[in-house]
């Protein structure tokens, strides 16, 4: 962990944390939500469990369901690829902090075309998913890809059926670059897709469907692209550059946003400026109760995430996500230190 962050955390702990901490090391921590973040939380838990004896039960049920479960207090933390609004956090008495950065990627199974060869724009993506473009050799796609031999085949479109932060970020981007999409569909965790589209629950199932079905297109989180060796399209960003998805391109989006300049991690990372910026970048977030009804379980979750940020940065890259900059992590710890019991008394705990 960077020395700057270590000093910031030490100062915060000295001000708010008693050394007579509750022993929560052996607790089982429960979480639910983002399927994009599941590989990271499972990797963190695997390593942390060997040190602390704690375990994590995480349900990758989608961002929308994760938010519902933490609002219902049925899990210790919820996870979403879309930040809750300040008003919603206040209403439901929750805190929120990001855990990593990733991106949404248009993926395809297009025989005869290698990964990254097909070029697409946001406008074309919107028209494909709205079924205004339905053939791979449509004139608009061919004009952007004059050197490719595009098949005269229908485009089979696969989409998420469940409430998904991936869908929210994808449709937020399409809404920003295509006025027709914004008017007809907008952005949301779930979309009223046209009946002819194939609807599937979960990122893993999307990946499997794309791999086995020729002439398909879909969208998925970047870590699944690498993990499952999915083919992807190069995507045009705001500066007119066609890019492949990468950790560096997601980080460029963050660096050209209020996350970097103001520590404002509620801001969407889609369609940010910068020649090296991936246009559908996103953060993934953790939500916890601000007033803990079960302090021991809350402490277990706080110890877990504190360990993750202090000792688990290298594991973020191992699952193809991007670690948070030090300045963002400093704000994360401030949020974590605000958790109290139901009487408003700061919890007594120390990092694992």
pLDDT band at residue 270 using 50, 70 and 90 as cut-offs: very high
Share of the chain above pLDDT 70, in %: 92
Residue 300 pLDDT > 50: yes
Q: Which of 281, 311, 328 is the last residue of a domain?
A: 281
Judge if 152 and 271 occupy the same domain.
yes
Q: Find residue 58's DSSP bridge partners.
A: 31
Q: What is the pLDDT of residue 26?
A: 59
Q: What is the pLDDT of residue 348?
A: 86
Query: Residues 274-293: what's their mean pLDDT?
Result: 97
Q: Is residue 20 part of a domain?
A: no
Answer whether 185's CB lies under 8 Å from 191's CB: yes
Q: Is residue 350 part of a domain?
A: no
Judge if 160 and 247 occupy the same domain.
yes
Q: Which residue has the tokens 């989180």?
A: 221
Q: Find residue 286's DSSP bridge partners.
A: 79, 97
Query: Residues 152-162: what's their mean pLDDT?
Result: 97
- Domain range spanning residue 202? 103-281
d(CA 13, CA 7): 10
Q: Which of 247, 266, 281 is the last residue of a domain?
A: 281
Residue 290 pLDDT > 70: yes
Q: What is the pTM of this model?
A: 0.88
Query: Residues 183-203: what's their mean pLDDT?
Result: 95
pLDDT band at residue 136 using 50, 70 and 90 as cut-offs: very high
Q: Is residue 302 part of a domain?
A: yes
For the chain, give the mean pLDDT. 90
H helix or E strand, kind and range, residue 119: strand 119-120
Q: Is residue 88 part of a domain?
A: yes
Q: What is the pLDDT of residue 352?
A: 62
The per-residue pLDDT for range 13-53, each reduced to its tens digit, is 333 333 223 334 458 999 999 999 999 999 999 999 988 88
The per-residue DSSP string of 19-77 comes to SS----TTPEEEEEE-SSSHHHHHHHHHHHHHHH--EEEEE---HHHHHHHHHTT-SSE
Judge if 207 and 254 occupy the same domain.
yes
d(CA 298, CA 175): 38
CATH code for position 7: 3.40.190.10
H helix or E strand, kind and range, residue 94: strand 94-109
Judge if 128 and 211 occupy the same domain.
yes
Query: Residues 90-114: what's their mean pLDDT?
Result: 96
* Structural domains of the chain, count: 2
Judge if 98 and 237 occupy the same domain.
no
Q: What is the pLDDT of residue 325?
A: 83
d(CA 267, CA 269): 6
Q: Is residue 273 part of a domain?
A: yes
Judge if 247 and 113 occupy the same domain.
yes
State both tokens at 41: 């939380």
The per-residue pLDDT for range 47-70, each reduced to its tens digit, is 999 888 889 999 999 999 999 999
The per-residue DSSP string of 212-267 comes to HSTTEEEEEEHHHHHHTT-EE-EEE-TTS-EE---HHHHHHHHHTSHHHHH--TTS
Judge if 133 and 264 occupy the same domain.
yes
Residue 288: count of CB within 10 angstroms of its CB: 22
Of 217 and 323, the one with more pLDDT: 217
Q: Which of 12-26, 161-175, 308-322 has the highest mean pLDDT?
A: 161-175
Residues 6+ positions from 12 with CB-CB distance below 8 Å: 333, 334, 337
Q: What is the pLDDT of residue 14?
A: 36
Q: 281-289 and 216-221: which strand pairing?
A: unpaired
Judge if 143 and 263 occupy the same domain.
yes
Among 93-97, 275-279, 319-323, the least confident range: 319-323
Q: What is the pLDDT of residue 13?
A: 39
Residues 6+ positions from 140 with CB-CB distance below 8 Å: 124, 127, 133
Residues for the chain: how many in total?
352
Residue 254 pLDDT > 60: yes
> How many helical (H) and strand (E) elements, i.e. helices and strands, does the chain have?
15, 14
Judge if 232 and 157 occupy the same domain.
yes
Edge-to-edge strands, sheet with 234-236: 119-120, 234-236, 242-243
Judge if 156 and 193 occupy the same domain.
yes
Residue 82 pLDDT > 60: yes
Q: Is residue 18 part of a domain?
A: no
Q: Is residue 166 part of a domain?
A: yes
Judge if 260 and 208 occupy the same domain.
yes
Judge if 153 and 234 occupy the same domain.
yes
Phi and psi for 2 in degrees, rounded to 5? -55, 145
Q: What is the pLDDT of residue 5?
A: 45
């Amino acid at each position: 962990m960077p020395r700057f962050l270590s000093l910031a955390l030490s100062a915060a702990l000295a001000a708010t944390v008693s050394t007579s901490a509750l022993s929560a090391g052996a607790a089982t921590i429960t979480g639910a939500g983002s399927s994009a973040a599941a590989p990271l939380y499972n990797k963190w838990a695997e390593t942390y469990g060997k040190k602390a004896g704690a375990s994590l039960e995480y349900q990758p049920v989608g961002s929308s369901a994760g938010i519902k479960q933490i609002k219902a207090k049925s899990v210790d933390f919820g996870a979403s690829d879309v930040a809750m609004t300040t008003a919603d956090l206040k209403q439901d008495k929750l805190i929120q902090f990001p855990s990593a950065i990733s991106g949404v990627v248009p993926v395809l199974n297009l025989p005869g075309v290698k990964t990254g060869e097909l070029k697409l724009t946001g406008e074309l993506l919107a028209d494909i998913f709205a079924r205004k473009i339905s053939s791979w050799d449509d004139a608009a796609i061919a004009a952007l890809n004059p050197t490719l031999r595009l098949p005269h085949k229908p485009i089979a479109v696969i989409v998420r059926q469940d409430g998904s932060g991936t869908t929210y970020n994808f449709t937020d981007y399409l809404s920003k670059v295509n006025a027709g999409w914004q008017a007809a569909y907008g952005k949301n965790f779930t979309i009223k897709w046209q009946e002819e589209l194939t609807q599937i629950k979960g990122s893993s199932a999307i990946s499997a469907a794309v791999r086995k079905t020729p002439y398909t297109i879909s969208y998925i989180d970047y870590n699944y692209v690498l993990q499952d060796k999915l083919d992807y399209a190069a995507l045009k960003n705001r500066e007119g550059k066609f890019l492949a998805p990468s950790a560096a391109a997601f980080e460029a989006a963050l660096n050209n946003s209020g996350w970097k300049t103001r520590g404002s991690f509620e801001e969407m990372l889609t369609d940010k400026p910068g020649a090296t910026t991936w246009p559908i970048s996103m953060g993934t977030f953790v939500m916890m109760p601000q007033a803990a009804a079960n302090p021991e379980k809350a402490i277990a979750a706080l110890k877990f995430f504190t360990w993750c940020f202090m000792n688990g940065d290298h594991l973020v890259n191992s699952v193809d996500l991007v670690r948070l900059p030090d300045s963002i992590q400093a704000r994360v710890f401030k949020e974590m230190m605000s958790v109290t019991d139901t009487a408003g008394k700061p919890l007594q705990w120390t990092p694992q």
